[in-house]
Structure 1
Amino acid sequence: MELLLIRHGQSEADLLEVHEGRADFPLTELGKVQAKKMAKYVREKFPPDFILSSPLKRADCTAQILQEEIGCEIQFYDDLMEFNNGILAGLSKKEASIKYPLPKGGRPAHIPIQDGESELQFRYRAERILHKILFDYQDYQRVAIVSHGGLISNFIKAFLNQPSRDFAFATGDTGIHLLELREDFRIVRFMNKQEHLLS
């Protein structure tokens, strides 16, 4: 079984210098172009049998563009949404640094942000959706998962059985990772592929 992890295209929040997270901004026009290039590339190189997606607008639109290109079924899961950043969602980064400064040494992993979730809760959510996908979609050869940078990073850590803190896996706009599960052997085929944006 192969898991094709795909980050959404550029969103309006990327241009506004705000905390995105659960703030539900749509794709920019550039983001739609990026998604179309990604979809064409995926159809030619790694066509999935099924698409799973976060329901947030930026991921939803990216997934719908992919579905139009591929023609397979699509399913949305709340567990694929980005980090629940609570009171910071949609707030300008400048205002957030004044109103809600990080505690000295950073926020402890077990303490949730106000009205949001903790790092540990976020990681557990990634673990939960990984196990659900591996169980519920095991009969598919390749499943595409359209999500967000933070969730994708935690998903890869969960896939590799790595700790939740101290490092991250970066993903650019419409970046693609390909993971493979062969019985109990886990393989990373490639990470953050963005060559489709060069065309």
Structure 2
Amino acid sequence: MEIIIIRHGESEADIFNVHEGRADFSLTEKGRQQVHVMGERVKNEFPPDMIWASPLKRASETAKLLSEKVGCSVQLEDDLMEFNNGIQAGLTFEEAKKYPEPTYLHDSYEDGESHIEFRMRVESAFSRILSSSQHRRIAIVAHGGVINCLLQSFYQMPVTKDYYFKNGDTGISFIEIRDEERVTHFLNDLSHLA
């Protein structure tokens, strides 16, 4: 199965300079333009048969615009939502300094989830998506933290926060599972924005 993993376009939180996480911001006009260009590339080079997406606005809007471009349906999956950063969601970076960063993998912000809980949630969603899909190629539209967990899972990395895969707005990663073989075609490709 071929898996196209796409990060959402620029969101309003980027403009407001606030922590996003579970704060639910829409795409900006620039973000919609990024998605339009990304969608053209996906349509022409590797159109998916099905799109799975986070229900948070910035990802679901990205998925909807992509689905209109490529002509396939979107399935929203709650477990693809970004890291639940609890009390930090929506705060400016300055305001958030009042709340210390969790020290250990099992610690969390108030009303949030730990890094271990996050990784397990995303890994479970990824497993469900892969096992239930009968499609040759799917797309997953999500968030930077979710994509990081998806790739950690794909590469069977241990549950630590020592590994990080950077993903730009509308960055595309293309991976594939062939029987027991895991193939990386490319990660965080942003050439459509050049």
So what's the TM-score if we normalise by structure 1? 0.95
Asked if the contact 2:50–2:74 (Cα under 8 Å) also holds between the matched residues in 1, the reply is: yes
Measured against aligned partners, the alpha-carbon deviations of 1:56-113 in whole angstroms (never above 9, x if no partner) come to 000011001100101111100011110000000001110110x2133xxx52101122
Alignment of 1:44-83 (within 5 A): 44-83=44-83
CA distance in 2, matches of 1:113, 1:121: 12
Give the fraction of aligned pairs with identical amino acids, expressed as a percent.
50
**Matched positions, count:** 193
Q: Secondary structure at the match of 1:196?
A: helix
Structure 1 unaligned segments of length 5 or more: list them. none
CA RMSD of aligned residues (A): 0.8
1:185 is displaced (CA, Å) by: 0.9
Contact map agreement 2:85 2:113 (CA 8 A) in 1 = yes
Q: State yes or no: 1:134 paired with 2:137.
A: no
The separation in 2 between residues aligned to 1:75 and 1:167, in whole angstroms, is: 28
Q: Could you say which residue in structure 2 is the equivalent of 1:40?
A: 40
Q: Which amino acid aligns with 1:6?
A: I
1:168 to 152, 164, 169: 164
Contact 2:152 2:163 in 1 (8 A): no
Paired with 1:89 and 1:186, the residues of 2 have a C-alpha distance of: 35
Which amino acid is the alignment partner of residue 37 of structure 1? Answer: V
1:17, CA displacement in angstroms? Answer: 1.5
Give distance in 1, aligned partners of 2:114 and 2:100. Answer: 16
- 1:161 is paired with a residue whose SS is coil
The equivalent residue for 2:142 is 147
Query: Offset at 1:134?
Result: 1.2
Within the alignment, does 1:190 sit opposite 2:186 as a pair? yes
CA distance in 1 between counterparts of 2:126 and 2:44 reads: 26
Which residue of structure 1 lines up, in the alignment, with residue 175 of structure 2?
179
Name the TM-score, length of structure 2 as normaliser.
0.97
Q: Is residue 91 from structure 1 mapped to residue 86 from structure 2 by the alignment? A: no
